[in-house]
Amino acid sequence: MILPSSELYNYHSHTQFCDGRASMEEMAVAAFDCGMEIWGFSPHSPIAVESKCNMTKEDVPRYFEEARKITDRYSGKMKVLTGMEIDFLSSDFGPHIDYFQNLPLDYRIGSVHFVPNQDGVPLDCDGRYERFAMYLKDGYQGDLRYVVEKFYEQELMMIERGGFDILGHFDKIAANASLADPTIEEQGWYQALIDDVIRNAKDRGLFIEINTKSCFDKKRFFPSCSIWPRLIDKSKGETAASLLHKTVLINSDAHYPDKVNLGREEAIERFKKL
């Protein structure tokens, strides 16, 4: 994967190919106007379950075609990368499977949005709290701890299977889980899971994303600021500066042209202070 040489990059963005609200061209214009040196497209991958947010397999060739055009258009001005945010569902479906490994992508983001319920049915735990609350009650038998533990189990299995470069928003479940139980992130078992994910991701040499998409509307980054100090292993001589833009990448996960850089500067300044 091409690494940034400055703070002006973003590897996580969405367009009309999935649930983004603008064309690839409109996003590229906004990124260039914002001074980005590296701009990565990362549509939600095709997926084995019904989902309005994900691109279809049929659209994949068209995505590559459009990406090639934009990459050429910005040649010498902005490095445009063709990525994908790939959903992990199980050991049978995730970034590691041949289908995704054989796509000519510049990089892959591995993300968990779907969490299997007690019957193995994957439910989308991302998005609006109202829907999550309904799934929690009717889909997961009201067992919040089950959902959260399963989410991190999926994260760990995805990391173990590999096949991707960037670990996407690895505590995303906390957005909805913390609304159901505001104390959940303070609990010992929860923090142990977070440490497990961080340790495994770093052992595998993954890039770990700090996702800034919801820093204003939900007032949080993914992973949450309270987790950031755990990303830095001082016993190994790591510092915020030694990780920032190297192991830790700051991505906006933009779905709109006016949000290409949203929250990134705030996150960078905050991380530097650690």
Q: Interface residues with Zn ion (CB under 5 A)? A: 85, 111, 253
CB 43 within 8 A of CB 17: yes
Q: Residue 6 in 3-state DSSP?
A: coil
Q: Closest separation between CB of residue 184 and Zn ion, Å?
A: 20
CB 240 within 8 A of CB 9: no
Q: Which is nearer to Zn ion, 165 or 253 (CB)?
A: 253
One-character DSSP codes across 63-127: HHHHHHHHHHHTTTT-EEEEEEEEEP-BTTBSTTSHHHHTS--SEEEEE--EEE-TTS-EEE-SS
Q: Closest separation between CB of residue 167 and Zn ion, Å?
A: 11
Q: Which is nearer to Zn ion, 85 or 106 (CB)?
A: 85
Q: Closest separation between CB of residue 73 and Zn ion, Å?
A: 24
Burial status of residue 226 (CB atoms within 10 A of its CB: 0-12, 13-18, 19 or more): middle
User: In Å, how far are 109, 110, 128, 150, 157 from 93, measured between CA atoms?
Assistant: 14, 11, 24, 16, 11
CA dist., res. 102 & res. 87, Å (int): 16
Q: Closest separation between CB of residue 228 and Zn ion, Å?
A: 19
Q: Closest separation between CB of residue 233 and Zn ion, Å?
A: 26
Q: Which is nearer to Zn ion, 124 or 253 (CB)?
A: 253
Q: Residue 43 in 3-state DSSP?
A: coil
Q: What angle do CA 260, 68, 20 make, to 5 degrees?
A: 35
Q: Which is nearer to Zn ion, 82 or 111 (CB)?
A: 111
Q: Which is nearer to Zn ion, 127 or 229 (CB)?
A: 127
CA atoms within 13 A on the CB side of 184: 21
Q: Which is nearer to Zn ion, 148 or 232 (CB)?
A: 148
Q: Which is nearer to Zn ion, 105 or 232 (CB)?
A: 105
Instruction: Tell me the two tokens of residue 65.
Output: 């075609």
Q: Closest separation between CB of residue 110 and Zn ion, Å?
A: 10
Q: Closest separation between CB of residue 169 and Zn ion, Å?
A: 6
